[in-house]
Amino acid sequence: MKKMIHLAVLSAAVALAACSEHHDHGAESGHSHDAPAVAEQAAAPAQVQDGISVQNAWVRPTVGEQDATGAYLTITSQEPMSLVGVATPAAEIAEVHEMKMDGDIMRMRMAERTEMKAGEPLELKPGGYHVMLMALTAPVEVGQEIELSLQFEKADGSKIEMPVKAVAGQNAAGDHHSHGGGGDHKH
Ligand SMILES: [Cu+2]
């Protein structure tokens, strides 16, 4: 069994509930990865501002009493830039998190500053970087549009605020394959 350790100061229980792919699948027994929403999202046009392009923005719908979830998107900037924050009216707390396997332990931490190289996509996806939405103001339902405001900082220190719409649904990438990285390997 993998363990997940949350290194951020915020409630580990809340974060675990939202970030654990196992939790999602366990609680939502009937969901299908072949839902029609998948194809529509994959074809969604890029959202562009100030040389920054955002593709495939989606949010994982909540299950039951869950009050936290993840948002995922791919960001490409024409010039070097850093993702320094995110805000949304849909949740009281929004943070960029990084999740990665450390041996057989899944670790998650807050990424206060994520650097992006020119033209190199930064992928926020299940099992990697993600936007964590905590203390949601309402449950997130499939098809719902969530507004995110991405905060960037350029090399010269100037800031860019970019509004992005993310649709709630399941993603074509396939959560089963993205978490765990190497499967349930043990020592
Ligand atoms: Cu997280």
Judge contact between 104 and 187, C-beta under 8 A.
yes
pLDDT digits (tens, 9 = 90+) for 56-89: 999 999 999 999 999 999 999 999 999 999 999 9
How far is residue 136's CA from residue 91's CA, in Å, rounded to a whole number? 4
CA 77 – ligand 1 centroid, Å: 23
151 CA distance to ligand 1 centroid (A)?
A: 18
- What is the per-residue pLDDT for 47? 96
Reported confidence tier of residue 173, pLDDT bands at 50, 70, 90:
very low
Taking the centre of ligand 1 as the mean of its atom positions, its distance from the CA of residue 161, in whole angstroms, is: 22
pLDDT for the residue 28: 38
CB 108 within 8 A of CB 6: yes
pTM attached to this predicted model: 0.71
Cα(13) to centroid(ligand 1), Å: 11
Q: What is the pLDDT of residue 171?
A: 64
Per-residue b or e along 82-98, where b marks 16 or more CB atoms closer than 10 Å to that residue's CB: bbbbbebebbeebbbbe
- For residue 58, the CA-to-ligand 1 centroid distance in Å is 15
91 CA to middle of ligand 1, Å?
A: 14
Distance CA(161)–CA(104), nearest Å, equals 37
pLDDT tens, residue by residue, 6-35: 443 344 444 444 554 433 433 333 344 444
Q: Distance, CA 122 to ligand 1 centroid (Å)?
A: 16
Mean pLDDT (the chain) is: 78
All structural domains of the chain: 3-28+45-173 (2.60.40.1890)
pLDDT at 29: 38
Contact 156, 102 (CB under 8 A): no
Å from CA of 109 to ligand 1 middle: 7
Using the mean position of ligand 1's atoms as its centre, give its distance from the Cα of residue 53 in Å: 23
Task: Give the model's pLDDT for residue 65.
Answer: 92
- Determine contact, residues 146/164, Cβ cutoff 8 Å: no
| pLDDT tops 90 at residue 41 | no
CA of 132 to the centre of ligand 1 (A): 5
> pLDDT digit string (tens) for 125-141?
998 999 999 999 999 99
Question: How many Å lie between the centroid of ligand 1 and the Cα of residue 60?
Answer: 12
